[in-house]
Structure 1
Amino acid sequence: MSWTDYASAPAPGTPICPESEVGTVHSVQVATPRGSFPLLIARTDAGLRAYANACPHQYLPLDSRGPQILSADGARLMCTAHGASFDIATGAALAGAPCGLDAVPVESVAGMIRIAAG
């Protein structure tokens, strides 16, 4: 499944949040005309990365059982429902899931993070 397959997938240019709100990981619901889209934004050494906030194991939000989804070493995102882990920089599955997180293209323009064109 790709992030664009979600019924509530936001269109390119949709504003998400001010970049100043993003520490290491930020969970946000993006309002669209078709509903709310669950998104995780991660600040990495390579820049901002974003993923649909849905573990590919059961499609529950990674933070469904609490906000602590970042590993102690800061290199992995972890599903609070069943412990699957994903590389923070790529979204690739590291353990406990059949595939990685769905990457969502984002960009920061004048301090506002928004959905980028593919």
Structure 2
Amino acid sequence: MIRLCAASEIGEGQSKGFEANGLRLFAVRKDGLLHLYENRCPHRQIPLEWLPDQFLDGSGSLIQCATHGALFLIDSGECVAGPCSGQSLRPLPFVERDGIIWLLNEQP
């Protein structure tokens, strides 16, 4: 397991980016639940944010790719608008335990 941050660092409606073992990823908290995805747009394979930790659209209800404006559902990672419509962000396994968010090792 890889320690990402204290759970308290990602409040409701907030997002935060990380790098762990050469992988770029980000977390978003919505309705009390944490969602963790690889920070890579399925359209161009580039990072989503335009400023550090800025992964959400203006309303805070969707994940937005800053490069071409694709919009993704927070709870599933599915692209609902933009050039990658129908594709999804890659979710990553994690656990929130004892106030810490941990990235779990992925199986090959």
Tell me whether the two structures share a fold, i.e. TM-score over 0.5.
Answer: yes
- Are 2:51 and 1:66 aligned? yes
| Alpha-carbon shift at residue 106 of structure 1 (Å) | 1.4
Aligned-partner Cα distance in 2 for 1:117–1:46: 24
Aligned-partner Cα distance in 1 for 2:90–2:32: 18
1:99-110 to 2 correspondences below 5 Å:
99-110=87-98
Q: Supply the RMSD in Å over aligned alpha carbons.
A: 1.7
Aligned-partner Cα distance in 1 for 2:58–2:98: 31
1:10-34 CA-to-partner distances (Å, cap 9, x unmatched) read xxx221111121131111112x2xx
Task: Report how many aligned residue pairs link the two structures.
Answer: 101
- Are 2:69 and 1:83 aligned? yes
Aligned-partner Cα distance in 1 for 2:89–2:32: 17
| Alpha-carbon shift at residue 75 of structure 1 (Å) | 1.6
In structure 2, what residue type is equivalent to 1:26? K
Which residue of 2 is the match for residue 21 of structure 1? Answer: 9
Percentage of pairs with the same residue: 32
- Are 2:29 and 1:43 aligned? yes
1:63-107 CA-to-partner distances (Å, cap 9, x unmatched) read 1x3343312322200001111110011101111115110011211
Residue ranges of structure 1 left out of the alignment (5+ in a row): 1-12
Q: Give TM-score scaled by structure 1 length.
A: 0.77
